[in-house]
Amino acid sequence: MKIDFIASKSGQFKKLTFYGQSPWLDNISRCMINSGELEKLIQNGVITGITSNPSIFEKAINSEKCGYPEAIKSLLQKNLTPFQIYDAITRDDIKSTALLLKPVYEKSGGRDGFVSIEVAPNIATNVSTSISEAQRIFSLIDEKNVLIKIPATNEGLEVISALISQGINVNATLMFSRNHYIAVSNAYIGGLKKALESGLNLRDIHSVASIFISRVDTYVDKLLNELITGTDASSAKKEKIINLRGKAAVANSKIIFNKYKETFSGAEFTTLKAEGATRQRLLFASTSTKDPSYYDLKYVEPLIGRNTVSTLPDETIEHIADHGKLSPDTVSQELENSNKIIAELSELGIDLDEVGEKLQEDGVKSFENSYDKLLDSIKNISRNI
């Protein structure tokens, strides 16, 4: 990442925060922590939070520049298993990052400055084990500005509600549809109610709900291309199908944001808010474009809104610094057109709730694969030491 260039353009990112959106880095590595690059991005207001996942850690650990082999060697001397080594390394990185972000957390009154860590994907379908593991991780890191990432699957919803009820911060991840969002926000509010009954301070409980964006277009465009191939080249229907390419993801996100506003201005949450509860912020994830023919800030500029988060990979941060055109509350605009796009897709047989289920299933498998590769990488490094 071009750290000095990005820092010189920090006004772009401060503009985002002025508009009410928190820019979070979708990356983490010991290189960035130890080199001071991460601290520089935080101090210059470029980022106000960070997310991680098994894919990110897998890439970091395989980097020869970041000192992970030395850390693994040290941990091997304690006769730890590959999982225990992974666990120790990731918790250490997250702890270090949480400390760097603590000034942001304190200055924002606990509204911002978070770092996320994911429960191991291979236990995601086991509710009781996931809850115990989340409790263990949260307790060992022992920093208030940590979010435990839990996938928004049927099992995950139970975990999310249980953790919130115990005062454990949650990043509900792998959401792709309006139905996913409704279920997650209900789990959060249900957890808050139980926390209140238990006498917990609701002001100390925080959560984000992560809606993945670009993957929706990738999958829907694939379906549209299949329809185009099977349609008469001269038909008006083909032109209509072509015009829908690349429009599903942003439209879907705007509709979800509208539901988010309704949910957290409704009577149920207003009652909890009076007891000190904070809203579960909507987080826009997967914001880099996968189709090279699309504008590189396609999933950033139209989705700026108050009380939201946008997670940004390195290259997207560079694009914002270089040529981002940022305006306030763009996510609330063109809601009617967004509903029209979703309706037109439905007429073609493309149901975004069904698409969301498929993408969530694929996302869980993808994280499991990355997790397995991560453990294999630790084993390989261990063999070569």
Active site residues: 149
The span from the CA of 149 to the CA of 93, in Å, is 15
The span from the CA of 372 to the CA of 55, in Å, is 10
Paired with 281 in beta bridges are 208
The span from the CA of 14 to the CA of 147, in Å, is 23
Rama region for 110: left / alpha / beta (φ>0; ψ in -120 to 50; rest): left
The span from the CA of 306 to the CA of 257, in Å, is 10
Specify whether the CB–CB gap between 187 and 164 falls below 8 A.
Answer: yes
Paired with 210 in beta bridges are 283
Specify whether the CB–CB gap between 197 and 166 falls below 8 A.
Answer: no
Paired with 311 in beta bridges are 24
Paired with 50 in beta bridges are 25, 115
Length of the chain: 385
Residue bearing tokens 């979010």: 147
